[in-house]
């Protein structure tokens, strides 16, 4: 499973940079000097990458960031984006929203990024989305988005699709009627849990327990005891 997830995260990283490339190309590559069509005379495009190289989502964000690097190398090998070389600034935000805010602010003020690629930490995405919007820096994130702001884009598969597969298996293959949901206390986890509860009801399953878990938790015994006592 780890190998499958790593492959998917690599592909997602490539996709995220591809989306950023299309976005910048559609905007007309505003960094262009306008003096020549050759890449050597055009201003590079600065793309910031805020990812959790450490912390609880490092297993997702490390391969994701490697995918972004692979995509940048491929784009530059073909002459860049409309002749503009891609410069990546990859920063570790430690899978923490507070660190993410610091990292993104620095990349805006010091690295003068033209676009941000965000990793899988939905709480961090929510925290620095308004900062990016005020600076008019678009973001392509591999997590759920806090709003439908015009500066935010997501490459994440909707959680509703995953929920349909999970619950469909429970009903058709396991032939069960009652389920429990344990979710991370993040925007992604909370949203997914709410949609799972609604989806379960729509196909005749009952959610008898729904509990959040802190992202740094190392012992889930209380939650599992609650699941057992709920009859799930």
Q: Kindly report the backbone phi and psi dihedral angles of residue 159, in degrees, each rounded to the nearest multiple of 5, phi listed first.
A: -65, -25
The domain over range 2-154 is classified in CATH as 3.40.50.300: no
Residue 127 has pLDDT above 60, yes or no: yes
- The CA angle 188-190-196, to the nearest 5 degrees, is 100
One of 3.30.1340.30, 3.40.50.11740, 3.40.50.1820, 3.40.50.2300 is the CATH number of 159-230, namely: 3.40.50.2300
Q: Is the pLDDT of residue 187 over 90?
A: no
Digit-coded pLDDT (tens) for 24-46: 555 554 444 333 344 457 899 99
Domain residue ranges in the chain: 2-154, 159-230
Determine the Cα–Cα distance for residues 24 and 108; give it in Å rounded to an integer: 16
Query: What average pLDDT does this structure show over 140-147?
Result: 85
What confidence score (pLDDT) does residue 12 get? 55
pLDDT digits (tens, 9 = 90+) for 70-117: 999 999 999 998 899 999 999 999 999 999 999 999 999 999 999 999
Please give the structure tokens belonging to residue 103: 């990292």
pLDDT above 90: residue 227: yes
User: What gap in Å lies between CA 19 and CA 13, rounded to an integer?
Assistant: 10
Whether the model clears a pTM of 0.75, i.e. scores above it, the answer is no
């Amino acid at each position: 499973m780890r190998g499958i997830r790593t492959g998917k995260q690599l592909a997602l990283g490539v996709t995220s940079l591809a989306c950023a490339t299309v976005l910048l190309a559609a905007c007309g590559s505003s960094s262009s000097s306008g003096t020549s069509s050759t890449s050597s005379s055009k201003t590079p495009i600065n793309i910031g990458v805020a990812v959790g190289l450490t912390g609880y989502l490092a297993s997702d964000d490390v391969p994701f960031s490697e995918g972004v690097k692979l995509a940048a190398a491929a784009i530059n090998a073909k002459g860049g984006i409309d002749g503009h070389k891609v410069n990546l600034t990859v920063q570790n935000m430690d899978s923490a929203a507070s660190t993410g805010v610091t990292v993104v602010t620095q990349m805006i003020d010091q690295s003068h990024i033209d676009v941000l690629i965000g990793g899988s930490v939905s709480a961090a995405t929510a925290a620095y989305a308004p900062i990016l919007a005020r600076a008019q820096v678009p973001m392509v994130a591999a997590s759920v988005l806090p709003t439908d702001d015009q500066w935010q884009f997501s490459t994440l598969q909707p959680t509703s699709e995953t929920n349909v597969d999970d619950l469909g298996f429970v009903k058709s293959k396991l032939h069960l009627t009652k389920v429990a949901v344990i979710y991370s206390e993040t925007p992604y986890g909370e949203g997914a849990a709410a949609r799972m509860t609604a989806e379960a009801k729509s196909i005749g399953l009952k959610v008898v327990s729904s509990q959040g878990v802190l992202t740094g938790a190392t012992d889930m015994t209380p939650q599992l005891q609650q699941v057992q006592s709920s009859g799930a």
